[in-house]
Amino acid sequence: MSRDKRSEDDDVTGGVLLEKKEKTEKPSLYRVLMLNDDYTPMEFVVLVLQRFFGHNHEAAQQIMLHVHQRGVGICGVYTFEIAEAKASQVMNFARQNEHPLQLQLEKE
Ligand code: TYC
């Protein structure tokens, strides 16, 4: 193998090049789900979908109405650490505002 074909995953030891199997796995993805309830105001849910999940006002309203009518909907899809952080940030924000809004993670 030529020098320029070496990758960071190759192991050069004492002049012997050992090619390793590719070890970089794609991270698992998780859906952040939002659950309906009877008390959280619709405008609050729309605000959350815009502020924490980057949806525009129109998309946020569509997602909120979907959750309101169907019981559950997808806020976004992220790696585990990001999904978990967003779900707990939103539930903390909801609790501070005395709303019972609940989110869950679901592995894709
Ligand atoms: N059902 C709520 C209401 O009528 C609105 C709502 C939508 C609450 C989505 C939570 O995840 C939710 N005020």
* 85-94 residue pLDDT tens: 999 999 999 9
- Report pLDDT digits (tens) over 30-68: 999 999 999 999 999 999 999 999 999 999 999 999 999
| pLDDT computed for residue 82 by the predictor | 98
Band of residue 3 on the pLDDT scale cut at 50, 70, 90: very low
Return the residue matching tokens 């989110």: 103
pLDDT at 21 over 70: yes
CA 44 to chain centre: 20
Nearest CA to ligand 1 atom 2: 38
- Ligand 1: centre distance to CA 54 (Å): 19
pLDDT for 14? 53
d(CA 63, CA 90): 16
Cα dist from 33 to 1, 10, 12, 103, 107, whole Å: 48, 40, 46, 5, 10
Confidence of residue 17 (pLDDT cuts 50, 70, 90): low
Q: What is the pLDDT of residue 15?
A: 53
Cα-to-centroid distance, 24 and ligand 1 (Å): 41
- How far apart are the CA of 29 and the centre of ligand 1, in A? 26
